């Protein structure tokens, strides 16, 4: 995580929703956050109501009772500080590999946004401390396993809450793992002593699932545009045609994503000397294979799926998820808004087009390597086929990833496991859906990188025929890290370099320098 850039203004967290851009700025770029006066006022008013209810002799869930299956026990006022601390300690029970820093920061920001609505009943000091921890670059260490995606992301959020109290492990601003108490002290932040309801309010949200969905929206948008670049390069390298992408043909089936992808392909292939070389009447090819001709249909359907997921994310960004909540008229009511089903379905849904876009990319790569189908390219694009293997095993790598992506496309949200002595008898597993989507997007980027490396080699081998200005610009950008065709060499570092260029958007930017922004 880098420091906040000069172009990143302070993200003000108020009673209204955050935007996707704001979440990404804080999670990935370290942009600073602040709380609005309106948010502080709303929190103070809600807190006053919680304290009134805490003084009553009648039980109020989350304020003066136990939790989950233990909700029937009334807790003596003298034990309520211990109740909140015990809740956070016991729920901070994740296991496995450490969750990425950007995910934890997104989760913390989104929990802060819910606190700022004034619907959770925490003191303003709790929210201000959370903001200070974010601004100091302190990130709680959270394990990958622990959330069932119902009652929110309890275990991951509990690690974040625990850090506010000065317990548990965190990574400091320099990335070193340290005890939370020491990291807070060095940053001049005083730990919080949790009061009634505050422990519950810090952990009962869908913020982990939502944070990962927001990050996935940004990543998948970039990869879909990159997939159009890769497809254009492959169409050109295989002596395909752009006629199937004509607006009048695409308009016959009015899916918006399809139209966007087809227009991108047309722009990317504009002024291609390779395409012009086989447009004449002597060309006997009637139509291209599906992996070329139907690229807009697949990438377009993926865009439409992404648009649906973005609507879900926007709704969730406008939500105040807690149980119980403080209503506008001062009541404290239990509810089921913490259930992660809306997010889980969207996360699972996105994994399907991720796998399918990758599958089509792999088929284009395989076609470029097959002498019988590549329209004149050497076998496996090798320098000396037989002595050299060229890109043969790079396609194996693609196929291995695609097989994994198909497994990751199996939904997590249909597999509910009951918990908490059957009180929480149906859960969303949305956290699991989010974790596998992140792995799937990483795989898609690697598959596209292999296709682009292969297509760039094929375009070089088409010389002296001239590639389109946009695809030629991509080849030039790639050549800064990946050398041109030649005898076999150690290929893994080149594929990794191409993967980094894909993930950073460098290759997409090279194309857009010619075409203008691609939607």
Q: Is 145 a catalytic residue?
A: no
Residues ≥6 apart with Cβ < 8 Å to 281: none
Are the C-beta atoms of residues 323 and 334 closer than 8 Å to each other? Answer: yes
- Structure-block tokens of residue 383: 């320098």
Instruction: Please provide the size of the chain in residues.
Output: 519
Q: What angle do CA 172, 177, 180 make, to 5 degrees?
A: 65
What is the Cα–Cα distance from 184 to 191, expressed in whole angstroms? 7
Q: Which of 61, 145, 290, 396 is catalytic?
A: 61
Region of residue 130 (phi > 0: left; psi between -120 and 50: alpha; otherwise: beta): alpha
Cβ(264)–Cβ(519) below 8 Å: yes
Query: Residue 426 has what DSSP assignment?
Result: -
**ω into 324 cis (within 30 of 0):** yes
| Closest among 158, 167, 165, 163 to 137, alpha carbons compared | 163
Count the Cβ atoms, other than its own, within 10 Å of residue 384: 10
The strand pairing partners of 170, in sequence order, are 140, 178
| Tokens representing residue 158 in the block | 């509990």
Four-residue CA torsion sign, 394, 399, 402, 407: negative
The residues that bridge with 34 in the sheet, in sequence order, are 12
Helices and strands of the chain, counted as H and E runs? 20, 9
Mind giving me the DSSP string for 200-246?
HHHH-S-HHHHHHHHHHHHHHHHHHHHHHHHHHHHHHHTT--SGGG-
Nearest to 227 by CA among 355, 358, 350, 347: 358
Tokens for 200, please give them: 């519950």
**Which position has the token pair 């201000």?**
128
Catalytically annotated residues: 61
């Amino acid at each position: 995580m880098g420091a906040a850039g000069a172009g990143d203004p302070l993200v003000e967290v108020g009673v209204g929703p955050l935007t996707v851009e704001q979440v990404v700025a804080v999670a990935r770029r370290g942009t600073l956050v602040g709380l609005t006066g309106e948010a502080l006022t709303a929190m103070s008013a809600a807190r006053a109501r919680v304290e009134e209810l805490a003084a009553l002799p009648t039980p109020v869930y989350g304020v003066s009772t136990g939790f989950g299956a233990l909700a029937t026990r009334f807790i003596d006022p003298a034990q309520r500080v211990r109740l909140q601390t015990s809740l956070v300690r016991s729920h901070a029970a994740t296991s496995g590999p450490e969750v990425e820093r950007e995910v934890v920061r997104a989760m913390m920001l989104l929990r802060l946004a819910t606190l700022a609505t004034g619907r959770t009943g925490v003191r303003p000091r709790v929210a201000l401390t959370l903001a200070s921890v974010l601004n100091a670059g302190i990130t709680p260490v959270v394990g990958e396993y622990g959330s069932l995606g119902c009652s929110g992301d309890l275990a991951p959020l509990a690690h974040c809450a625990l850090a506010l109290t000065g317990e548990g492990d965190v990574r400091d601003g320099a990335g070193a793992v340290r005890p939370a108490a020491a990291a807070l002290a060095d940053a001049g932040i005083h730990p919080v002593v949790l009061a009634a309801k505050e422990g519950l309010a810090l952990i009962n949200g869908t913020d982990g699932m939502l944070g990962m969905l927001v990050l996935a929206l940004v990543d998948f948008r970039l990869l879909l545009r990159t997939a159009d670049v890769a497809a254009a390069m492959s169409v050109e390298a295989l002596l395909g045609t752009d006629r199937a992408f004509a607006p009048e043909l695409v308009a016959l089936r009015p899916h918006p994503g399809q139209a966007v992808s087809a227009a991108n392909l047309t722009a990317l292939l504009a002024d291609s000397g390779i395409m012009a070389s086989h447009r004449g009447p002597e060309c006997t090819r009637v139509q291209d294979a599906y992996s070329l001709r139907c690229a807009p249909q697949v990438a377009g359907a993926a865009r439409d799926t992404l648009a649906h997921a973005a609507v879900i994310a926007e709704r969730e960004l406008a939500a105040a998820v807690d149980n119980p909540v403080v209503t506008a008229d001062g009541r404290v009511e239990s509810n089921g808004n913490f259930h992660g089903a809306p997010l889980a379905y969207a996360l699972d849904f996105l994994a399907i087009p991720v796998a399918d876009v990758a599958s089509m990319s792999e088929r284009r790569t395989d076609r470029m390597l097959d002498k019988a189908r590549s329209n004149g390219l050497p076998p496996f694009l090798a320098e000396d086929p037989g002595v050299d293997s060229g890109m043969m095993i790079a396609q194996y790598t693609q196929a291995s990833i695609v097989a994994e992506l198909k497994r990751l496309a199996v939904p997590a949200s249909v597999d509910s496991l009951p918990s908490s002595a059957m009180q929480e008898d149906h859960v969303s597993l949305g956290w699991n859906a989010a974790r596998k989507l992140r792995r799937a997007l990483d795989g898609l980027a690697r598959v596209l990188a292999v296709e682009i490396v292969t297509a760039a080699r094929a375009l070089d081998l088409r010389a002296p025929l001239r590639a389109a200005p946009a695809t030629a610009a991509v080849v030039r950008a790639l050549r800064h890290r990946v050398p041109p065709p030649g005898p076999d060499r150690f290929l893994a570092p080149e594929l990794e370099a191409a993967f980094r260029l894909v993930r950073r958007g460098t290759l997409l930017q090279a194309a857009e320098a010619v075409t203008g922004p691609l939607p």
